[in-house]
Structure 1
Amino acid sequence: MATPLVLAQQVFSALTNNLATNSTSEAAQATPVPFPTDLSSLVTFLCSLSALRDWLKLLVFGFVLESLRRLAFHFYYKLYDSLFITATFEEEDASYDWVMVWLSKQPSWSQTRNVQISTRNFNLQSNAILIEGEDEDPMAAVVKNDRKLTYLPSVSSTFSMWYKRRWVRVTRNIRDGYYGRREESLELCIMSWGNNILNQLLLEAKKEYLAAQEHTISIYVSDSSNNWRHIASRPKRPLKSIVLDPGVKDLLIDDARDFLESKSWYSARGIPFRRGYLLYGAPGSGKTSIIHSLAGELGLDVYVISLSRSGLDDTALSELISELPEKCIALMEDIDAAFSQTMNRDAQEDIGQDKADQPPRPKQTTSKISLSGLLNALDGVGAQEGRILFATTNKYDSLDSALCRPGRMDIHIEFKLASKYQAEELYRCFYLPDLESEVNGKVAEDDSGYSTADNDEKITTPHVTEIFEAETLPLVDEETRIIGTSHRARVPKLSSSQVSKLAARFAEAIPEREFSMASLQGYLMAYKIRPYEAVSEAPAWVEKERAEIAMKKAQPAKDSAKGATKDT
């Protein structure tokens, strides 16, 4: 009995013999076809092949089909472009914040099913439309977090809304940018024949954003990719809150306003439309504060140029300054410290120690910016026009004369230590009565000057007449006294005449040009609700500050003596 393996071998052998016999017979009967030698014969030969004809038909059909598809899409996009307007807003641009704030105020957001809940205020002091029912208690900021919740478009999702009977599609995207940074973009697709509806939307968004910024100034800084970035909005500071020597504020504000209104005058005479101010002097004398106040008074944004920023070189600085808007304030703080670490603020120099008494220190370069690169950026061919440049320094003598010349720094103003006039005006600013109370005459001349939030709390304070009639102001008896500040327990109520008399006494206790305005402000902050103690304890504070300054001056000599003793 044959096994299955033997049977399979026999069947395979029979099939092989049959195929070989058929191939031999067909080869014997076939007549050889000669290969064409000329072009016409080659074409005829190829056309005679049925498989090639089928492939040619498929190729022509595919070509026609693809052409029709492309033509259909072309007409589709043409129709889409004629019916829809697409606008893209990048996060780095100011218009992104305009549109995001505008979107957050649209009532339709409360009806959508896919939103992002956010506490972002887009650098504004006032939030957008709030979630219905959120607590608006004015004391909420004291007892809890006062950040309001708002609706924003979700990332990578599309939302549809109506604006002035136009259909609008909103898409918000986030992508990975350079240096691992996330970059946001916003896309608006509006169904409209013309651009008028887009223009209306943009103007409305800009108007609402600027209205929310009416009482603030915008602060911009440069990021690692050398782009200007909006980081914050700060409340405008009134000029009357800045106490300087007489005439300084008027000089700055009048000159800056005249410059902003003189563009045609500069252009007619071929003078570059730029203005530079160099503010120098003692630390804490109000240089940065007056710039903040001027920005609010002139309605200009502040662009902070940090010359010590990592990666900033001459080329990057020129590009950065050329990207400044036409009307703005460019601020370079501590411009002397851009080229050497020796230009720092140590306590010895703040109190007036001579440079000869200071131990020598090695210079170290902290910036890739050269002096020539800075000069070219300020007034070179590519320098931006229309901007106002403010530079501050504590060491005027260390600046190169080329940097200080007119055309780069047109006006130089020295800020000195506080005078008696400034001390008196600062006191007035601290304790000036409310305008409403002054007009209504609610503050009596014999008022003690205090009111209490708690009726049960007893307050013992010297009567105003005792202060005014005293020949000398009493000193503090305690050698060590810790003074705290209460912001709401008691509120001073003084008339203008009372404040004037107290301010004059306070100025008498403050020596001329010995302390900075920042020091005086820090002292008065500890007595913000105690105007009488601020006057009576001022002499003791002066003596204490003088003792600390003398100790700081003597410290280097002590260190040198200790070092000499160790060497011997």
Structure 2
Amino acid sequence: MTLVQQFLSDFTTQLNTANATTAASATVAPPMPTDPSSLLVLLSSFTALRDWMRLAFLGGLIEMCRRFVFGGYAQMVNSFYITACFEEQDVSYTWMMVWLSKQPSWSKVRNVQVSTNTLINNTAIILDGDDEMRSKSSRKLAFLPSLSTTYNLWYKRRWMTITRSQNQTGWYGSKEQTLYVSIMTRDHSVLVSLLQEARRDYLAAQEHKMCVYVSDTSNNWCHVACREKRSMNSIILDPGVKDILIDDAKDFLLSKEWYAERGIPHRRGYLLYGAPGSGKTSFIHAAAGEIGLDVYIISLSRIGLDDSALSELVNALPGRCVALMEDIDAAFTSGLNRDAAATTVDSPDANACRPRPGAPAPLPTSRLSLSGLLNALDGVGAQEGRILFATTNKYSVLDAALCRPGRMDLHIEFKLASKLQAGQLFSRFYLPAHNLDTMRLDGEEGEEGSVDSGYHSTGCEDGDEKIPPSPAESSSMSTSTDVPEGEKPVYNGTSHQTRAPQLKRRQIANLAVRFSETIPEREISMASLQGYLMAYKTRPFAAVANAKAWVEKERSDKVAKACKETEVDAGNVNTADLAKENEAEKAKALTAEKENGKETGSENLKETS
């Protein structure tokens, strides 16, 4: 025990000595500098830190000099170039794509992007290849400049570079393409000349086409398609209707100064109303091609469309265009009329708009108001120079403020087909393609149908003994026995894919008269007549023979449909009456309960007193 105690005492003594030495050395250490100058002196005492600071300074100086030299060089080079960028949504992008497709050097490029996208083909460089391959394929091959690739070519003895890039924009990952064109020149007239040449090439390529634009969710106009212009001769209306509209539209386009001198807004609106299938939309298609303007479709039922979005779309329209609003009466669920009493339960329009019992609730569409539509059409910021076409099947539900001059200047009714229209439609169906523009049934001898006429000549003429192919060649062949007596059966009737007869104009005129006599006046739409004749595309005699039975079927279908709608409307009215009766009974019961409660309360007060 003595040795252990002595060891512990020695260990404690040594430990106390070490602690005292450590405390003394700690008090002797110099304090940390508190002022900046002393801190810098302390840091400069480290040799490694001085070397690192010297290296960072020299590196920064060299990088600054490098950027200055290369930036100055780039500025000097760019001073000899003119650079223009073209966004994909702008029409000038299409101009440059068409212009590029016509350059001889484009056929020698080694890096291209191949696409069969339908929308891309509208502005792409179409591959010149085998026509047979095109006819067998539903999609066309298109060459596009590759992304992030620079192409070099010469333009009027000046060096030019073209680069196409694609960037992701927006929250939904939409991609937008941009075309950059740089020309080695300091003269802006060269760029102007290039744009004018590209625009001329585009207009020449679109001479027989009409471009269609629609709006996207960002309220930008997007080019969606190019359609062949439709001949006005293909639109069969009452005499004088086409001339009134086309002449008025052409006069409007030429009267900009006249409008400005008199302080009248340079805008024109046409309201086309009438039965469905009477040719309103077809006429607008043909009219846009006739006056040479593109069509901008304004969908009033687009999801998310409100007053400000509509105003933005209308203001973004170009100066010369056709703005189309189809079925303007269906833009609002409550109808385009601010008069609450104008639509009652007894009116047919109110019954048509009332949902059927048990039908699901309609999906929310636009948040557009009538006031917003009126301000967009002729407000302070409304676009001038445009032609507005609006269509409706329910003229009576439109508000008077919408139909007034200044918004809808000319109202044209499209009626159901007349006998004259039926005869003209029949003649146009069975005349050869090269005779469609004349439409003079003067008895001149018809020639063989062309390839684009929809049928081929069989070589049968009046008095020939030749007959169509035998039944063995076509399982769908049918024999017509309704040919009048005294006339030789020029045609016995075949399937849609077989050949049609070669008829003289006088024969077609006689058939057209017979066909028009079977069509009732103002009972059948032109669309229904066209659908009927399409079933007899190569069978004119069968079309005449079966027309009467078809008319009777159409009448019976209309009667059945009207009866069904009447039953539905009666059911809707009964449902509404029952709902009103239930509400009245509930109100009476509630009133009785209140009266009983008052009587009970008064009796309790009497008993308490």
Q: TM-score, normalised by structure 2?
A: 0.73
| TM-superposed deviation, 1:395 | 0.3
Local SS of the residue matching 1:540: helix
**1:367 equivalent in alignment to 2:377:** no
1:241 equivalent among 210, 225, 234: 234
**1:446 equivalent in alignment to 2:462:** yes
| Cα deviation code 1:224-281 (max 9, x no counterpart) | 1110001011111111110111111010001000000000000000000000000011
Partner of 1:99: 96
Change (3 A) 1:359 1:150: closer
Partner of 1:421: 420
Partner of 1:173: 165
Contact 1:287 1:415 in 2 (8 A): yes
| Cα deviation code 1:269-305 (max 9, x no counterpart) | 0000000000011000000011000000000000000
Change (3 A) 1:411 1:441: closer
**1:152 equivalent in alignment to 2:144:** yes
1:136 equivalent among 125, 131, 138: 131
1:490 equivalent among 495, 499, 506: 499
| TM-superposed deviation, 1:432 | 1.9
**1:76 equivalent in alignment to 2:69:** no
Contact 1:127 1:148 in 2 (8 A): no
C-alpha distance in structure 2 between counterparts of 1:53 and 1:377, whole Å: 71
| Cα deviation code 1:297-347 (max 9, x no counterpart) | 00000000001111111001001000000000000000010011779xxxx
Partner of 2:532: 523
C-alpha distance in structure 2 between counterparts of 1:84 and 1:313, whole Å: 44
How many percent of aligned residue pairs carry the same amino acid? 55
For structure 1, the residue ranges without an aligned partner over 5 or more in a row are 1-16, 344-352, 471-482
- Report matched runs for 1:197-208 at 5 Å: 197-208=190-201
**1:288 equivalent in alignment to 2:281:** yes
Local SS of the residue matching 2:500: strand
C-alpha distance in structure 2 between counterparts of 1:220 and 1:467, whole Å: 56
**1:90 equivalent in alignment to 2:87:** yes
| Cα deviation code 1:351-383 (max 9, x no counterpart) | xx9558769448967420000000000000110
Partner of 1:323: 316
C-alpha distance in structure 2 between counterparts of 1:490 and 1:469, whole Å: 18
| TM-superposed deviation, 1:79 | 1.1
Local SS of the residue matching 1:225: coil
Change (3 A) 1:467 1:250: farther
Partner of 1:381: 380
C-alpha distance in structure 1 between counterparts of 2:331 and 2:390, whole Å: 12
C-alpha distance in structure 2 between counterparts of 1:451 and 1:135, whole Å: 37
C-alpha distance in structure 1 between counterparts of 2:177 and 2:304, whole Å: 24
Contact 2:212 2:225 in 1 (8 A): yes
Partner of 1:12: none
Partner of 1:185: 178
Local SS of the residue matching 1:324: coil
**Letter of the aligned partner of 1:292 in structure 2?**
H
Local SS of the residue matching 2:79: helix
| TM-superposed deviation, 1:203 | 2.7
Partner of 2:604: none
After superposing the two structures, state which structure 1 stretch, 358-367 or 507-516, moved more. Answer: 358-367
Partner of 2:266: 273
C-alpha distance in structure 2 between counterparts of 1:452 and 1:168, whole Å: 63
| TM-superposed deviation, 1:197 | 3.6
| Cα deviation code 1:401-421 (max 9, x no counterpart) | 110000000001111111111
**Letter of the aligned partner of 2:521 in structure 1?**
E
Partner of 1:337: 330
Contact 1:124 1:212 in 2 (8 A): no
Change (3 A) 1:449 1:116: farther
Partner of 1:349: none
C-alpha distance in structure 1 between counterparts of 2:54 and 2:137, whole Å: 74
- Report matched runs for 1:396-407 at 5 Å: 396-407=395-406
| Cα deviation code 1:51-90 (max 9, x no counterpart) | 8999998898678656644542442232122222222111
C-alpha distance in structure 2 between counterparts of 1:151 and 1:450, whole Å: 51
Contact 2:272 2:280 in 1 (8 A): yes
| TM-superposed deviation, 1:557 | 5.5
Change (3 A) 1:63 1:136: closer
C-alpha distance in structure 2 between counterparts of 1:196 and 1:105, whole Å: 21
C-alpha distance in structure 2 between counterparts of 1:114 and 1:462, whole Å: 65
After superposing the two structures, state which structure 1 stretch, 542-551 or 174-183, moved more. Answer: 174-183
How many residues are matched?
513
Local SS of the residue matching 2:380: coil
Change (3 A) 1:422 1:124: farther
C-alpha distance in structure 1 between counterparts of 2:258 and 2:147, whole Å: 49
For structure 2, the residue ranges without an aligned partner over 5 or more in a row are 1-17, 337-346, 437-442, 449-459, 579-609
User: How much is the aligned-residue C-alpha RMSD, in angstroms?
Assistant: 4.4
